[in-house]
Amino acid sequence: GESVGLHLPTLSVQEGDNSIINCAYSNSASDYFIWYKQESGKGPQFIIDIRSNMDKRQGQRVTVLLNKTVKHLSLQIAATQPGDSAVYFCAENVSFKAAGNKLTFGGGTRVLVKP
Amino acid sequence: DSGVTQTPKHLITATGQRVTLRCSPRSGDLSVYWYQQSLDQGLQFLIQYYNGEERAKGNILERFSAQQFPDLHSELNLSSLELGDSALYFCASSGTTGSVPNEQYFGPGTRLTVT
């Protein structure tokens, strides 16, 4: 498969350990945030989202934390598995007039799970 | 499978040519988004349509245009192609209504190679 990017920061994690991926966003007007996972040769896959009126949201094995004070977002993956190996992107949304919105993606973090 | 389909999967064409990429959103989704993913620029938002109307615009070149048809499928037209237009082009759809954004589901992408 092809690489999404040649110079992505990489997080190596042992299978079974927890992973934390961090993301700094730029726009204080962003009202909604999403984490995506992208495997080689595929489109981004939705993992979890959080609205700006929340600071934590949990899904299955994943937790997203939002700190609006420092414009920081993190994704925690519990008990990381080989299938979690991928590139992870955070995205921030700014809404315009009714049904108008724009997602801005971060540069991505490559997660490598070691067996 | 996200439910978003894109055709073709691969496209190879020469500089100066024009191509059309096609996207069918998930059933019931009124919003369609187009993104470009290149190695040096990452994932970039191009344009959004909602129920046939343009609603948000990103870094879309004047040589590029898009439309959404009454059956909600969308086409992205790229003309006067340059080598730098070589990239993955993704379509995403969402059930966004009103001013509340929702998760965007991505298609598998079209890989465009300009020679």
- Shortest Cα distance, chain B CAs vs residue A95, angstroms: 7
The mean of the pLDDT values for chain A is: 91
Contact B98/A98, CB-based, under 8 Å?
Answer: yes
Residue B20 CA: distances (Å) to CA of A75, B10, B12, B64, B110:
36, 12, 12, 10, 10
Q: How confident is the model at residue A8 (pLDDT cuts 50, 70, 90)?
A: confident
Q: Are B82 and B69 in contact (CB under 8 A)?
A: no
Percent of chain B clearing pLDDT 70 (strictly above): 98
Structure-token pair, residue A67: 């700190």
Instruction: Read off the pLDDT of residues A21-55 as tens digits, 9 standing for 90 and up.
Output: 999 998 999 999 999 999 998 999 999 999 999 99
Contact B56/A32, CB-based, under 8 Å?
Answer: no
Residue A27 CA: distances (Å) to CA of A87, B43, B56:
23, 17, 17
**pLDDT, position B40:** 77
Does residue B101 have a cis bond before it (omega within 30 degrees)? no
Give the three-class secondary structure for B85.
helix
Taking residues B24-32, report their average pLDDT.
Answer: 95
- B44 interaction partners in chain A (CB closer than 8 Å): 105
- Shortest Cα distance, chain A CAs vs residue B26, angstroms: 14
- B42 interaction partners in chain A (CB closer than 8 Å): 5, 105-108
Instruction: Read off the pLDDT of residues B73-110 as tens digits, 9 standing for 90 and up.
Output: 999 999 999 999 999 999 999 987 766 788 999 999 99
Q: How confident is the model at residue A87 (pLDDT cuts 50, 70, 90)?
A: very high
- Which site among B43, B89, B105 would you substitute to test the A interface, given the most A Cβ atoms closer than 10 Å to its Cβ? B43
**pLDDT, position B98:** 66
Structure-token pair, residue A32: 């909604």
Contact A99/B30, CB-based, under 8 Å?
Answer: yes
CA A52 – CA A74 distance, rounded (Å): 14
